[in-house]
Chain A
Amino acid sequence: MKLTIALAFLGAALHAQQLDLSSLDRLSPKASAKAEVALDAEKLRLASKFLSSDKEGDQKAKELVAAMKGIFVRTYEFEKPGEFTDADLEAVRRQLKTPGWSQLVSVKDKNESAEVYFFSQNNQYGGLAVIASEPKELVVVNIVGPVDIANLARLAGSLGIPEIKGLSGGGAKSTAPPKPKDDDDDEN
């Protein structure tokens, strides 16, 4: 009985972590390029089997994916700005206001914005959502299950992910005081 209740809670938690991105379907006809990825737990397991243990990038990906229950990505590119508005994202943002979801970061810079949310329940962290918009591009990411954001950012430099100069790989490192250097400090 206790196991049944625990499984029911787990199922409910996983269901809450997975966002319904179908409201973004109406952007598809307007996009000049789009990509949709929907990998549930079973497909993640299958994909993980085909990741090579010999390649560093694949190995990192394997470790990241080990605990994940799903990863869903939508990317849209448009010919001209103004093809999507905040109203198109309202349905997704509404889900991110439900219990369990908390906003980690919200940044706006000119016409670009980025939001990062995480999901936690009963002091268990599990679930990530990213909404990144530029005038001619929209990216929405939803990860179900525990994910190490620091390790995710550390994928830079492998798997074909370019590394942005000036950024360290992990959050913990960024809070450490900078080491004294002889050369010029040109971080900005």
Chain B
Amino acid sequence: MTRFEDELRWALQRRDPPPGFADRVLARLPATRPRRFRFLASLGRRWAPALATVLIAAFATGLWEYRQVQQRREGERAKQELIFALQVTSAKLQTTRAKLLHTMGGSL
């Protein structure tokens, strides 16, 4: 056998780990979650689709209500502008007629 084969056999032979090795490995592992957190996580996974649906519905409802409020504001503003325009037009037609009557001596 060659020297290489001897060295390989020596490297691969089974050996017992040094004392405390298992404890050191376990200490490095991430801590497992307590039972109650595992429960909450499973609860979240089960209810996540429903929660997402509720949130989306709430957002859509809020957006719809916002648009309703915006349209109401625009409508009220348009109404005020319309009333103003009709007030001005009617008043000017009246004064025009009054001037015409005055110019023509009070009768048509």
Contacts of A188 in B (CB 8 A): 102, 106
With A109-B103, A167-B101: A39-B92 Cβ-Cβ less than 8 Å: no
Assembly CA distance A162 to B83 (angstroms): 14
Assembly CA distance A111 to B98 (angstroms): 15
Q: Does chain B have a CB within 8 A of A31?
A: no
B75 touches A47 (CB 8 A): yes
Partner of B85 from A37, A49, A51, A112 at Cβ < 8 Å: A37
A51 touches B79 (CB 8 A): yes
Q: Does chain B have a CB within 8 A of A19?
A: no
| Chain A residue at minimal CB-CB distance from B100 | A107
Contacts of B91 in A (CB 8 A): 156, 161-162
| Chain B residue at minimal CB-CB distance from A116 | B96
Assembly CA distance A51 to B80 (angstroms): 9
A149 touches B98 (CB 8 A): no
Contacts of A174 in B (CB 8 A): 97, 108
A164 touches B85 (CB 8 A): no
Assembly CA distance A121 to B79 (angstroms): 30
- Chain B contacts with A in 66-108, Cβ cutoff 8 A: 71, 74-76, 78-79, 81-103, 106, 108
| Chain A residue at minimal CB-CB distance from B84 | A37
| Chain B residue at minimal CB-CB distance from A139 | B92
Assembly CA distance A64 to B96 (angstroms): 20
With A39-B81, A44-B82, A47-B79: A107-B88 Cβ-Cβ less than 8 Å: no
Assembly CA distance A113 to B68 (angstroms): 45
Q: Does chain B have a CB within 8 A of A67?
A: no
Assembly CA distance A174 to B79 (angstroms): 31
Assembly CA distance A133 to B85 (angstroms): 16
Known: A37-B81, A51-B82, A161-B86. 17 other contacts (CB 8 A): A46-B71, A46-B75, A47-B78, A47-B81, A50-B78, A71-B86, A107-B96, A112-B99, A116-B93, A130-B93, A141-B92, A152-B93, A156-B91, A164-B95, A167-B94, A167-B97, A167-B101
Task: List residues of A whose CB falls within 8 A of some B CB.
Answer: 35, 37, 39, 43-44, 46-51, 61, 64-65, 71-73, 75, 105, 107, 109, 112, 114, 116, 128, 130, 132, 139, 141, 143, 149, 152-153, 155-156, 159-164, 166-167, 174-175, 187-188
8 contacts between A and B (CB under 8 A): A43-B78, A50-B79, A73-B88, A130-B93, A159-B83, A159-B86, A167-B97, A167-B98
